[in-house]
Every structure is written in C-alpha cells, then in structure tokens.
Amino acid sequence: MAENTVEETRRGRPLLEVDDVAVHFGGVKAVDGITLELRAGHIYGVLGPNGSGKSTLLGAMTRLTPMTRGSFVFEGNDYTRRPARTVHHMGIARTFQTVRLLDDRSVRDNILLGQDTLAKAGRKDADARVDEVMERVGVTAVARMRPDELSYGMQRRVEFARAIIGRPRLLLLDEPTAGMNSSEREEIGALMKQLLDEGITQFIVEHDVQMMVDTCDYLFAMNFGKLIAEGTPAAVVKHPAVQEAYLGKGAGTHA
C-alpha cells in the first residue's frame, strides 16, 4: 500500500473512538489506559510483543472482555455498557486468533451463521447474500465441503466471509495469518485490501511485521498494556521504543 502521511490517515469520518480503556485481571494490567481513534477507510494494525495486551484490547472493543475503565464510541454512539451481541448489530465484526468454524456443517452454513442481522430479510435474500460473499472471498467452489476438509488458508477465508456477511463497517482481525505460509499470507493481505475498497475499515492484530507494513496504512504499537508509538508503518517500526520493546536487537521482520 502506498505510504500515507499521518495527515491523510486522519482524514475521513471518525469510526471508533477509544478513550482511556483499561482491562485489569487482578494485578495484571493487560490494557492500561489506551486512547486511540480509527477513521473510516483505512487498515490499522497493532504491533506488540507477546503479552502486551493486543488481544485483550480487541476483546474489550467487542465487549466480550469486561473493562476496568474507559469508553468506546462507534459512529457517534457510546457502546461502553452494551452487551457483546449488540456490538455485532452496530456494525463491528471480528475474527478470532484460532479459527472457530463448525466442522459438522458445510462452508455455506458456517457463513450463514454470521448473518443473524439479515435473518429478518428472509431466506431468499440470505441465499443471494451468501453467494455474493462466498464469491468475493473465493470459497464458492468449496461451498458444500466441511471446514475440516479445507486448508488452513481456506478456513480463514470462510471466517472472513462469516464476519463480513452482515455488512460490518469495522472488521477486527486477531492474527488472521497465524499458521499460514507466505503465499497464503499474501492472499489474505490482498483480500483485506479488497475489503477496504468495498468500504470495510479494518483493525488487525498480527505478529508478522512485514505483513503489517505491506498491508496497513497506520500502525499502533503496544507494550505492557500501553501505546508506545503510532503513525505510518515506516515510522512506527523505526521508532526507538518499538525497536526496544518488540523487535529486539538484530531481530528479523517476523517476531
């Protein structure tokens, strides 16, 4: 992706405002006062070493993980106290760190599970929508197969389809390329850019620094539950605090 300036990234309508969010587990300050803003029309990434709080932040954003303090505002609506299931209905979808698909159902049926918001639209509309989404993510040919018959890369695609069938404006991705080879990773990066072109802003937690630099146009870096840097990918990976915390001395691009 062409390198955006910070000013370019700050254009666009505010989508998600995260204000002073903290998640403490007893004495463990997994997330400890994160304030950030996501604007529509970008792919954002979060870097950070193991245990820095990335997944916990994602869990709090979807309201699955209870917060200690702070607030979330999505498209102008404060959803800090809303239950997790209503977050999905607001237009925020997510994928999980490990693939969560039902192996006793077909690919098509798994994707349909993500479209509860379309339930009232009726079966005919749902059928048309699932066909459209399967085509878009490239799983039409395996629609009748079960997830456990597919490669890991294809299972990830099915997860993407399930997440976007309800037409989210924000998609949260927890390590979408974990366990993939480099060509599968490139495919997922290309798919993310395609979804961006279709109006889905994305927020991705990922260990593969090179993939983040290639795919994201704005990065945040975390350590010990706090933000330590943010800005263009090039600036963030070079930031001394990030080098110190995440890349380590002489580390490569895949931490």
Binding site for ligand ATP (CB under 6 A): 25, 28, 30, 48, 50-56
> What whole-number distance in Å separates Cα of residue 235 and Cα of residue 231?
6
Write down the least CB distance from residue 213 to ligand ATP, Å: 17
Q: Which is nearer to ligand ATP, 108 or 185 (CB)?
A: 185
Q: Which is nearer to ligand ATP, 25 or 128 (CB)?
A: 25
**Residue 71 carries which DSSP code?**
E
Write down the least CB distance from residue 159 to ligand ATP, Å: 17
Q: Which is nearer to ligand ATP, 28 or 128 (CB)?
A: 28
Write down the least CB distance from residue 211 to ligand ATP, Å: 14
Q: Which is nearer to ligand ATP, 51 or 199 (CB)?
A: 51
Q: Which is nearer to ligand ATP, 54 or 63 (CB)?
A: 54
Write down the least CB distance from residue 88 to ligand ATP, Å: 21
Q: What are phi and psi of 71, to 5 degrees?
A: -150, 155
Which pairs count as long-range contacts for 76-82, CB under 8 Å and 24+ apart, including other chains? 76/14
Torsion sign, CA atoms 121, 124, 129, 134: positive
Closest CA to 215 of 198, 227, 228, 203: 203
Contact 122, 179 (CB under 8 A): no
First vs last Cα of the chain: how many Å apart?
21
Write down the least CB distance from residue 215 to ligand ATP, Å: 18
